[in-house]
Every structure is written in structure tokens, then in C-alpha cells.
Amino acid sequence: MNVLTLRTVLLILAILAPHFSYSQSTVKEGNPIITDKFTADPAAMVYKDSVYLYTGHDEAPDSKNYYEMKEWLVYSSADMLSWKAHPSPLHVNAFQWAKGDAWASQVIERKGKFYWYVAVEHNNGGKAIGIAVADHPLGPFKDAIGKALIRNDMTTSSKISWDDIDPSVIIDDDGQAYLFWGNTACYYAKLKENMLELDGPIHTIQGLPKFTEAPWIHKRKGWYYLSYAVEFPEKIAYSMSKNINGPWTYKGILNEIAGNSNTNHQSIIQFKGKDYFIYHNGAINPNGGSYRRSVCIDRLYYNKDGSMKKIIMTTEGIK
């Protein structure tokens, strides 16, 4: 085999590897759903007959009281109970313009491509939002634009350097895509059809009392829901609107403080007719906590008027 052929074979194997090499397949009852690693900032995507659960990876040693996050993880399930762990599809080193901090993220599909919006620390300082792209939900993902989509100098409503984190993305029924994100100020902007460029100005959202971070945008039966973390330690609250541009009406607390974790970071999906609230706590003993977090899932229920019932966090999880 000559060098060129060998290189081609190795490249094909690298591309196919994520689809065949499952490192773990578990049917585990109860919360947290993953116990062999610390997982945080869940963002679930329903695609065809499966749910793909993208998470951050808390790697801080027990002695460290701050985030240590270098890569993102992905799990898949056809029933929300049995989760397959796949090789990490994205490392922060994929973004040459970033120097670390693989923080919260969300993946969305458009026309057979998968766009992964991630928060990282920019080489020039301040948090920023990048985009990775792939042809399959399990990757391989690569930097889609070779630079940050959102930089700290592009947003001025909050003076802190970490206000450009926690991206959440939606494609509305008319095909218009929107990106939401923020910390202490909540921002949103339209995305072009290519999902790689902003399509207009960045707006700062009003009507989200005590907004801290972690916006998650979803739509159901003509209502837009913007859930987000409030205060610190964080609870999850939400606002509703009939228009994605607002005005937003505050609807109250959706989830209480998640035990011994300062953060809670929710993802909301409907899958096979049931609604789920996915979040993290610090429940793995003995070292779980704010910087060694674990993803949990509980059921979400709506009232007849479209508002959401308060989440009951359980150790039993879903059945």
C-alpha cells in the first residue's frame, strides 16, 4: 500500500470511527443518568428516532474549585433510558482562536448538517461563541468559520467579559433561525440560512427578571418559551411570548436550586410524545458539586394554558 492509499484509508477510518466505536452502553435507572464521568450543561437534540445528548465534561480534580472543561461529550438514546456513550466529538483545540473552557453549547440540524454552537474563552480574552459543523450528529465536527461568531466586544449591555456564553438556537416554523445567549444580559440575533453568520443586529432582551445565564429557547403550540437561570446559586425560571421578538411575560420559577450545585443549566425537549427537563446537579458521591456535575432527567408537564408545571427533581428519574 503506498503512502497516499494508507492516508486515505486512515482518513476514512477516522471519519467512520464515531459511528462504530461505542465506548459504553448503559440502561441505568435513576438520576444522575451518567455516573462514570462528570457531565454538565446538557443540550439535547431530537433527530429522527433518537435523542442526542451533548454535554460538557467536568474534569476538575477534587481539590479545584473552578471549572476545568476541555471537551464536549455526546450520548444517544432511542428511549431516554438506555444511553450510549460515544467518543468525544469535539475538543476546544478544534477552535484555533480559542484558548480553553469548553462551556455550554447546543447542536441543531439544518438540511442534513449539524451545527454546534459553543461557548469558549477567546485568545484575545473574554468568552466567545464559535460554531462547529458535521454531517452526522456524532461528528466528526470541525470549526465551521475559523473565527468566533460572537466576541465580547460585540455586546455591550453587560460590562463583564463572560456575558457571551450559553448559546441556544432555534429554527422557527418559517425557516428563520435565531441564536440566544448571555450572562447577566440576555441577547438574541437572527442567523442567516447558512447558520454561520448573523442576519441583523444583536438585541438585548427585556422581561427576564433576575436573569443570570443559560437561556434555552423552545416553541410549543404557538408559544415561545425562554427558560433561563436566575440568581446564584441558580434556579431556573421562564418567560413566555406569542412572538419570538417579545414582549416576554415572566411566568415564575420552573426548577429550584439543584442540590449542591450552584448551576442547574436546563434543556427542554419533546420526544415520542413526552416532555423532558434535562439539567445537572452535583449528586455523585463523594466528590460531586458545582465543578463536578452530573446530568439528570425528569419529566416536564404543561398546564392547559400552555404554562409549565414546576419540575419535581427526583433520584428515581424517568421510568
Site for ligand FUB contains 103 (CB under 6 A): yes
Kindly report the backbone phi and psi dihedral angles of residue 212, in degrees, each rounded to the nearest multiple of 5, phi listed first: -105, -60
Q: Cα–Cα distance between 35 and 25 in angstroms, integer?
A: 12
Does the active-site annotation cover 163?
no
Site mask, ligand FUB, residues 53-82, x = CB under 6 A? Answer: ---x----------x---------------
Q: Which of 76, 106, 239, 263 binds ligand FUB (CB under 6 A)?
A: 263
Least Cβ distance, residue 168 to ligand FUB (angstroms): 10
The H-or-E segment that residue 240 falls in is: strand 235-241
C-alpha cell of residue 295: 446530568
Q: Which is nearer to ligand FUB, 176 or 260 (CB)?
A: 260
Does the active-site annotation cover 231?
no
Site for ligand FUB contains 105 (CB under 6 A): no
Q: Which of 51, 73, 104, 144 binds ligand FUB (CB under 6 A)?
A: 104
Q: Left, alpha or beta for 71 (phi > 0: left; psi -120 to 50: alpha)?
A: beta
Least Cβ distance, residue 20 to ligand FUB (angstroms): 30
Q: Cα–Cα distance between 290 and 281 in angstroms, integer?
A: 8
Q: Which is nearer to ligand FUB, 18 or 226 (CB)?
A: 226
Least Cβ distance, residue 3 to ligand FUB (angstroms): 42
Q: Is 137 helix (H, G, I), strand (E, B) or coil?
A: coil
Least Cβ distance, residue 289 to ligand FUB (angstroms): 13
The H-or-E segment that residue 296 falls in is: strand 294-299
Cα 142 from chain centroid? Answer: 17
Q: Cα–Cα distance between 269 and 276 in angstroms, integer?
A: 5
Which residues have a Cβ under 8 Å from the Cβ of 94 and sit 6 or more positions away? 132, 141, 142, 143
List beta partners, residue 258. none
Site mask, ligand FUB, residues 21-40, x = CB under 6 A? Answer: -------------------x
What positions carry a catalytic annotation?
41, 213
- In the complex, the residues that contact ligand FUB under the rule CB under 6 A are 40-41, 56, 67, 103-104, 119, 165-166, 213-214, 263, 265
